[in-house]
A = this chain, B = another copy of it.
């Protein structure tokens, strides 16, 4: 394509883009996702697996940016298939076009756009996303080993997509091929979440093999077709804990496995990240209460995050019994306590042990937390 037409195209795109931002359009506003960060890092909301009409997606590349901005994302990768191009009779093949087309809109909206591609083969090796690419063309090779090597040589971060897809009973299988990739340094992470599907096998692998946890949409449709955004549903995303919001920093964080997956009302990740996210989400409003004998009282807990935290007691204390409670997103909820003795007396600091059932530190394993309160016991006998 000659330079002139390229510039014209940018103008057209920008015009289209701004025309779209009419006052009453959804596009004119952005949801802000409220999840507190881990001290020392910024928490970037990323979707690292999306498609456009340049492979088998169903929207023009600029739409992916506008959707991402509207939904509260910070970072997006357009990762069209290299091998699977069902629209190629209508759309000319050029692996760099989605990135080129989307870039000016991403710049205008401060969305970080990452050059990417999906290597699309039968299992094994299955589908892999290579991100932070410089030359996508070099991945278009008959032998998948050559494609992965080309990605690796460019310093790409490579992850295995939806490993359970088309496997027997949808159960992920660790083939020799993946073992080989791992040894060669060609495999850095796995999609534990793809679309709204969670893969506990992949989760366990990530823990055991020190791989990065990823959760992505793999979106093909307009995003609003698959997620009821206006009802506060959101696509799955990878929360990246980066030193700053630069591409280099995002890349470093991914290689350092500083990620948490945000799937529906759940966070999936290492306790060392989930714990401070939970602790920084909640605030005990009146931490000192009085309990008279075996009577009940309540503790008010405000939750400033977008997640409803589902707490179940993790054992009981000697002084009080507690019940399960949901700490609703953006609201204050009541934790009920009940004295266990008629004769208890005096003030005590108590750590109430709970498990947060929707924060997953391993398959079927919630995050243990403590709620600290100070109770003045008054005897009734």
Contact = CB atoms under 8 A, between A and B. Distances in A.
Given A16-B56, A110-B300, A230-B230, A5 B89 contact: yes
Contacts of A35: none
Interface string A321-354: 0011110101111101000000000000000000
Interface size bracket, A side:
35 or more
A223 B225 CA distance: 9
B221 A332 contact: no
Contacts of A13: 86
Contacts of A196: 24
A373 to B, nearest CB: 14
Interface stretch (A39-47, A60-68, A120-128, A173-181): A60-68
A324 B23 contact: yes
A108 B285 CA distance: 13
Contact of A222 (B6, B21, B30, B225): B225
Contact of A331 (B32, B62, B302): B32
Contact of A59 (B59, B324, B333): B59
Interface stretch (A90-98, A151-159, A183-191, A201-209): A90-98
A307 to B, nearest CB: 14
A74 B103 CA distance: 37
Interface in A304-323: 323
Contacts of A86: 9, 12-13, 16
A110 B285 contact: yes
A220 interface: yes
Interface centre among A28, A101, A225, A333 (most CB of B within 10 A): A225
A152 to B, nearest CB: 30
A63 B56 contact: no
A335 to B, nearest CB: 10
Contact of A231 (B16, B53, B230, B333): B230
A298 interface: yes
Contact of A328 (B29, B58, B92): B29
22 contacts: A9-B87, A16-B56, A21-B298, A21-B336, A22-B226, A23-B326, A26-B228, A28-B326, A29-B328, A30-B300, A58-B59, A59-B222, A60-B87, A66-B221, A70-B225, A89-B92, A90-B92, A222-B225, A224-B224, A224-B225, A228-B230, A230-B230
Per CB-CB distance, the 3 closest pairs between chain A and chain B, nearest first, are A224-B224, A222-B222, A230-B230
